[in-house]
Amino acid sequence: MSDALSATRVPLFSGRRVLVVGDVMLDRYVWGDVSRISPEAPVQVVRVDRKSYTLGGAGNVAANLAALGLDVQCLGVRGKDEDGRLLAEKFDEIGAKAHLVYEPMRPTTAKTRVMGRGQQLIRLDEEDAGPLSAEVQDALLRQVERSLPECGAVIVSDYAKGVFAGNLAQRIINVGAEVGVPVLVDPKGADWTRYQGAFCITPNTGEFQRVAQFDPRDDSDLGERASTAIHAFSLSWLLVTRGERGMSLFGRGGEALHVPTQAREVFDVSGAGDTVIATLAAGVAAGLSMEDSARLANAAAGVVVGKVGTQPVTRAELEEALALDEGGCAYKIRTREAAMEAVQGWKRQGENVVFTNGCFDLLHVGHITLLHKAAELGDRLVVGLNSDASVRRLKGETRPILPEAERASLLAALQDVDMVVIFDEDTPLELLNALKPDILVKGGDYVRETVVGHQEVESWGGRVELISLVDGKSTSSIIDRLRG
């Protein structure tokens, strides 16, 4: 990894602007429980608990850019229907500017996924993949021309839903070349002539195989095939995403960059391609080299496959992923939002989550014993750590002895600890409500009724466990001995 990119040097993307043009769609999720087979037909019955809506296709690309902190504009088409209204609302929610042109008699592209116990059971598609009218294509191109000069990159997100059935992609690439703004393409289909002259194309192995006609089981000539494609379609770069093999970046001359994937828990690969091209374009817009932008995109891909459904990756999650790739234990220190996602993932796997909290100032054998016994109660141990400001309010201006970053690092280095989350409140109640652990652990100097959060934990089916303390071991006693 170059000096330009590390866990502590992920670019600040605020103020960078990227334009997304493509097939926007609404992703609808119907969540429920499956407990029986229908008496009417041999199909599962899903008892619906809730419904959720997210941006899909080019909209998901825009959502990933917005989550990273970029200024985003998205261009596409929508119908005059309820799905189109929901689509526009979702763009407003993420703070992205959407210019969605109405196409007469065309429905908003929507995908409905029915989910049972976290698994996708069926998908229903509503779409019209026919070409756009000349008038709508011209309207989109005019908006591209107005927006392009202020952008650091443009993404063409082709889902074969009609936006690029004509020559719109080629016209956008030509306009980008005229003003010197790189155009990156997430392709669809075997005809890449409509992407001629693009700055970069980002196919997966299957998509590239259809164009380059090679055996995907034997990648010995992948570099040669990539070089041929680069010259045939006048590309500057080609990034092939290769699943468990990571990514391979090819340019005009020079050696290819092969970025290996990092071991991750894979829940859902849908939307991973959107995350890759969004993060790649974000890196380009922020001034990173293509090599470092590819590394950033690879880290983002490793994060997004650990989520269910089309969900964006945040800058904080990227920092954590890069910290994990660099080694060490910094990846265990999570923000509250990232911790919530991780805990939800663990629970989907049926793992029991244990939570304890404290100041953990001057880590000692009493702390270690409590944490070890807490970890034995479940599958994952989360430690809530009082921030420096919180410790000062609780224990006075002379505390803590060690700052929160050092205290968090010491806890993260322990094998028993799976995650550390710093909280700024006087009690961990807000953090408990966010994470909803299965088991809440405190020291034996408490009784159940005095444990903050015991009512909340028990309300969602959890329990409180009290662990005996090691006699005579406390931070205060260590401080007194040092002073003596």
Q: Are both 186 and 87 inside the same structural domain?
A: yes
DSSP E strand stretches across 257-375: 257-259, 333-334, 353-358
Q: Compute and round to an integer the Cα radius of gyration of the chain.
A: 26
* Strand-strand pairing, 110-116 and 97-102: unpaired
Q: Are both 190 and 57 inside the same structural domain?
A: yes
CATH number at 61 reads: 3.40.1190.20
Which run of H or of E encompasses 34? strand 24-37
Q: Are both 257 and 383 inside the same structural domain?
A: no
Q: Are both 280 and 338 inside the same structural domain?
A: no
Question: Are the beta carbons of 70 and 314 closer than 8 angstroms?
Answer: no
Residue 383 falls inside a structural domain = yes
Q: Are both 231 and 258 inside the same structural domain?
A: yes
Q: Are both 153 and 294 inside the same structural domain?
A: yes
pLDDT of amino acid 356: 97
Residue 2 falls inside a structural domain = no
Residue 9 falls inside a structural domain = no
Q: Are both 221 and 315 inside the same structural domain?
A: yes
pLDDT of amino acid 417: 96
Count the domains in the chain.
Answer: 2
Domain span at residue 268 reads 17-33+53-111+127-327
Q: Are both 320 and 342 inside the same structural domain?
A: no
Q: Are both 428 and 394 inside the same structural domain?
A: yes
pLDDT of amino acid 328: 62
Question: Are the beta carbons of 323 and 408 closer than 8 angstroms?
Answer: no
Residue 6 falls inside a structural domain = no
Of 327, 348, 377, which residue constitutes the final position of a domain?
327
Q: Are both 348 and 304 inside the same structural domain?
A: no
Q: Are both 278 and 377 inside the same structural domain?
A: no
Residue 24 falls inside a structural domain = yes
Q: Among 180, 192, 205, which residue's Cα sits nearest to residue 284? A: 180
pLDDT of amino acid 418: 93
Residue 167 falls inside a structural domain = yes
CATH number at 454 reads: 3.40.50.620
Q: Are both 322 and 338 inside the same structural domain?
A: no
Residue 450 falls inside a structural domain = yes
Of 307, 327, 347, which residue constitutes the final position of a domain?
327
DSSP for 202-233?
--BHHHHHHHH---TT--TTHHHHHHHHHHHT
Residue 43 falls inside a structural domain = no
Angle at 413 between CA 410 and CA 416, to 5 degrees: 110
pLDDT of amino acid 8: 43
Q: Among 44, 51, 53, 67, which residue's Cα sits nearest to residue 24? A: 53
Of 327, 347, 372, which residue constitutes the final position of a domain?
327
pLDDT of amino acid 1: 45
Q: For each of the chain's 484 residues, which pLDDT tens digit applies?
A: 444 454 445 777 888 999 999 999 999 999 999 889 999 999 889 999 899 999 999 999 999 999 898 999 999 999 999 999 999 999 999 999 999 999 888 999 999 999 988 788 999 999 999 999 999 999 999 999 999 989 999 999 999 999 999 899 999 999 999 999 999 999 999 999 999 999 999 999 999 999 988 776 777 788 899 999 999 999 999 999 988 888 999 998 878 899 887 655 555 556 788 999 999 999 999 999 999 999 999 988 888 776 655 678 877 777 777 766 655 677 788 888 878 878 987 887 789 999 999 999 888 999 999 999 999 999 999 999 999 999 999 989 988 989 998 999 999 999 999 999 999 999 999 999 999 999 999 998 889 999 999 999 999 999 999 998 877 667 777 767 777 6
C-alpha distances out from residue 474 to 363, 365, 380, 428, 478, Å: 9, 9, 25, 20, 6
Catalytic residue numbers? 274
Question: Are the beta carbons of 166 and 131 closer than 8 angstroms?
Answer: yes
DSSP state, residue 21: E
pLDDT of amino acid 383: 97
